[in-house]
Structures are given as C-alpha cells and as structure tokens.
Structure 1
C-alpha cells in the first residue's frame, strides 16, 4: 500500500490515518499541524513504554543492561519526536513501513545519546538491542549538532540539580543519577516509599518545567500545544 501513513491499531491489523492515503502522507511530509498532532498522540504512549525498558550495551568485552533515569526519560521522549518531525526525517519516511518501527529506532538512538551524555555508558559502547526497522531507518551522523546536544544535556541537568534544595537534590542524586530503587532511596533518606514517590513526581514536573523554561522542549509532556 504505497503512499500510506500506517499506525498500529488495537488487534493484529494495521490501519491508516483517516483520509486518503496519499493526502495524509503528503500532509505529514509538509508538517501539517493536525497530522503531526495525531501522530504524536497515537504513538506517544508506545514510545514512552519503549524508552522505559532496559537497554543492553557492549563496552569492550563486557555486556550490561542500563536504563534511563526519570529525568532523562522525559527528555528522551520529547527529543524523539523533535527528531522525528524534522523536515528531513519526515521526508525520509516512505509511508510503506509501519511508522512505529521508524519511531522506535529514533527513540533508541536518542536514548543511547542521552546515556552517553550523562556518563551512564561509555562513548564507544555499542547498543545490542535492535529496534524494529533498524536496518531501513534514516541515520543521523553524530557531528557537531549531536555533540552540542550531549553537552547541553549535561549542563541542563547540572543546572537543575544545583538549583534544588538539599533534600530534593539528595533524592535526585540517589534516584536519577545513581539509579537506586525507591525503597533504597527511602531507607537512605529516612523517608517512606510513599514520600519518595510523591517527591519524585514533583521532581519530574520541575525538570520538565526547567527544560521548557530554557527552550529545550517545544511541547509540554501532556499535550501538543506547540510543535517543532
């Protein structure tokens, strides 16, 4: 079905967005706001679930798994769509392959970039998890733009942590930088798990606001008021 913009619906079938196939694909490639909003709302939960998984990476002779911290998870989710909706990437999508595989490949690349930027994995580490459609997805060279992204992420995270009160900074360090579980962080800070959960939710909201205020995100986590 050439020229169609596929979305994964419930059940085993594949569905296309409402309207004539070619016109929808054309609107997507032209950056039509309504079409991009529909794509975002359709795939946002699936991209978020994919990014929340653990990724296997190889560094030298060792293989280990790593996951994004809560702060990086929100940033990776938004950056995936920022990259996907760039003009070159919209044009690169052929309208034949399921778009979810296309998006998840970008999500994996974004996750690896953020893990490297935060120092969670070595720069030379190789991801072993193949996202769907990996062999057919367009590639972005890691040139000056990607290097600038990594440096900016490090700066943004450090600025955010430095601006927190001592107790909040300690929680962020344990949960998001060191990767402790909520139970372990609660024990270290002499809090209940419920208190940690509430404070963590507040930290995530604060971090999103931090990114928005500095113009790093173009869209709040809950909606599509502004699109790249």
Structure 2
C-alpha cells in the first residue's frame, strides 16, 4: 500500500491518522528491516570497508526510521507521486550511519556508499521535499541546542561538531588541554542526547503499532 494510492489515503497519511500510519508501517516494515540487516559500505578518506548493525542497533534503527518518517514535516511534504519506499530506505540509511557513528564503529567523517537497487527510485541530483524538510528540522534542532549553551561550550561544539576539527586542534584554538576538551565533549554529547530525548528524536515508541520481525 502506497500512501499516495488515492487522495483520501494521502490526506489521512499527512494528517497523521493512526490507522493509516499503522498500515504504512506494516507494509514497509519488513523491507526496511531487511535493508537495515545488510552490510553498509562506507568510505573514510581513501579506505572503504563494510559494517553492519548489531542486534540492538538494528532494532533501534528500524524503529527510529519510522519515528523520523512519521514526523509531521515529513508526512506533509510527501507528494504521493514518488515511490515511498525509496524515501524510507534513504532515511533508514541515514539512521543506520548515525548509529554507527554514535557508537564509534565508523568515523564521523565516513561517507556511506550505497548500492541498494531500491534507492534507484529516489531522486539523487535534487533533494526532494521530504529530505529538505528533514534537514530543515535537524538544522533547527541543532541551532536550538547551540543557542542554549554557554559561550565556551558553544565554541567547542562549533569547532568539533560543525567544523569537524580534531580534539587536538580544538584544544589549541580554545587554549585547553586535550583532556579538558575530552571531558567537555563527553558532557556536550550527554546534553545533546537529553536534548534529542526531550524533543522526541530518540527512544520514542510507536505506540499502538505492532513490530514486524
């Protein structure tokens, strides 16, 4: 079942109708789960290697993909024309890479190299409205977090997470030791996780929806 099969289904999907979202979840859940269970090729510098999600991360990525996909901005941006599966798999890939980076299994600068045939249905040269809406929401989320930080913490976050400087380079710029940067960075990560939790971006159960193995 595609959300855009007819206008009434698409409208119900955009409005967040629970029954419609449940149907979409049950329809695409097995395909998303199979996609996430594959190995992902990533490139860090000149090196290419493949990685896969562990059992716990696999379940988390599967649920998080739909949590993100069902956010109001993304539901309302879907045009009902392009295949929905292609968008879901792009979102699943992004979620998987985020988890792999967060766990330290791949470098933060690693770039995914994806050859899943389903992604051929997704736009590659131009961002669709769903991806634009997601990126806009992420930018707002990050900006809100940065704006709420003290000046020193905001400067560290800017250097490490926005500009991608190493701990050594950030320490030099801020006139800190690497140990001080490491401690402050750990605190920042904890604060950001709490920020995501408070705004429903992490560990949000899909209440009322059955998990599909």
Same fold (TM over 0.5): yes
1:17: Cα distance to partner? 5.3
Aligned residues: 213
Any idea what SS the aligned residue of 2:27 has? helix
What residue ranges of structure 2 are gaps of 5+ in the alignment?
A: none
1:118: Cα distance to partner? 0.3
Bigger shift: 146-155 or 125-134? 146-155
Whether contact under 8 Å (1:112, 1:127) holds in the other structure is yes
Whether contact under 8 Å (2:16, 2:72) holds in the other structure is yes
Q: 1:197 to 1:19 in 2, by over 3 A?
A: farther
CA distance in 1, matches of 2:50, 2:102: 17
In the TM superposition, 1:87-166 aligns within 5 A as 87-131=72-116
Any idea what SS the aligned residue of 2:133 has? helix
Partner deviation per Cα, 1:112-159 (whole Å, 9 max, x = no partner): 000000000000000001556768869999999999999999999999
Any idea what SS the aligned residue of 1:94 has? coil
Q: 1:144 to 1:135 in 2, by over 3 A?
A: closer
Greater fraction helix: 2
Q: 1:167 to 1:76 in 2, by over 3 A?
A: farther
1:91: Cα distance to partner? 1.6
Bigger shift: 147-156 or 120-129? 147-156
Superposition RMSD in Å: 9.9
Report runs of 4+ in structure 1 exceeding 3 Å deviation: 16-20, 130-223, 225-228
1:53: Cα distance to partner? 0.2
1:25: Cα distance to partner? 0.5
1:83: Cα distance to partner? 0.3
Whether contact under 8 Å (2:30, 2:212) holds in the other structure is no
Whether contact under 8 Å (1:104, 1:132) holds in the other structure is no
CA distance in 1, matches of 2:81, 2:129: 32
What residue ranges of structure 1 are gaps of 5+ in the alignment?
A: 1-15
Structure with greater contact order relative to length (CA < 8 Å, sep ≥ 6)? 2
Q: 1:100 to 1:57 in 2, by over 3 A?
A: same
1:23: Cα distance to partner? 0.7
Whether contact under 8 Å (2:83, 2:122) holds in the other structure is no
Bigger shift: 94-103 or 74-83? 94-103
Whether contact under 8 Å (2:37, 2:53) holds in the other structure is yes
Q: 1:103 to 1:140 in 2, by over 3 A?
A: farther
Bigger shift: 31-40 or 202-211? 202-211
